[in-house]
């Protein structure tokens, strides 16, 4: 995949390297090659578990507030929910975007999206792409409606800082829940390049 992930204004090459025989923590890597330099980040020790779905690049998106596009990688998949990681190569040293945990939608460094009739989860930019503001949404059925919780975060040094004052709880119809930003079957859809 090609896109400006370093923030220097020139397209870079981005790919995943997978080696099941490598030491734990080095089996799956995201690689970015720019003019004259190659940077590498580990996808983490738990990736490439016995799974029919190996990690894959989902998109290049302006998720955090650092220069360049971020690499969004599908890392894990359950029966109805998938989990993505966000990797940044711009603005200094390469880093993985980490969450505060404490939610089924953001667990340390995984962002949940998808779901089924029993629950929906999603993650997206809140405001301008590249502003570093993120919304994490969950929706669970309550009778003939859905209870939607939207939590907002600001990226700072590859970490997410909760913006508690912006938290929302809404009760909406099934028709409306399917049209809510961020509750779609892909991560960070409005952040994409």
Residue 99 banded pLDDT, cuts 50, 70, 90: low
Interval 11-29: pLDDT, tens? 999 999 988 788 877 888 9
Query: For residues 66 and 167, what is the distance between their CA atoms, to the nearest angstrom?
Result: 24
pLDDT tens, residue by residue, 25-77: 788 899 999 987 899 998 876 655 555 678 899 999 999 999 999 999 998 88
In whole angstroms, give the CA distance from residue 82 to residue 56: 12
Categorize the per-residue pLDDT at 104 as very low, low, confident or very high, splitting at 50, 70 and 90: very low
Q: Which residues contact 25 (CB under 8 A, 6 or more apart)?
A: 42, 44, 45
Total-model pTM? 0.90
Rounded to whole angstroms, how far apart are CA atoms 75 and 53?
9
């Amino acid at each position: 995949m090609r896109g400006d992930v370093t923030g220097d204004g020139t397209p870079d090459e981005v790919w995943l390297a997978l080696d099941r025989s490598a030491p734990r923590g080095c089996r799956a890597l995201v690689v970015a090659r720019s003019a004259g330099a190659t940077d590498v980040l580990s996808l983490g020790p738990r990736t490439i578990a016995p799974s029919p779905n190996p990690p894959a690049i989902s998109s290049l998106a302006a998720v955090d507030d650092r220069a360049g596009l971020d690499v969004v990688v599908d890392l894990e998949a359950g029966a109805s929910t998938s989990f993505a990681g966000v990797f940044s190569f711009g603005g200094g040293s390469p880093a993985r975007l980490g969450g505060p945990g404490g939610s089924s939608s953001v667990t340390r460094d995984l962002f949940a999206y998808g779901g089924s009739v029993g629950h929906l989860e999603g993650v997206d930019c809140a405001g301008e792409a590249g502003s570093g503001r993120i919304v994490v949404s969950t929706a669970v059925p309550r009778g003939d409606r859905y209870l939607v919780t939207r939590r907002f975060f600001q990226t700072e040094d590859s970490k997410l800082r909760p913006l508690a004052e912006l938290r929302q709880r809404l009760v909406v119809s099934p028709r409306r829940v399917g049209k809510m930003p961020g509750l779609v079957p892909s991560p960070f859809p409005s952040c994409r390049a």
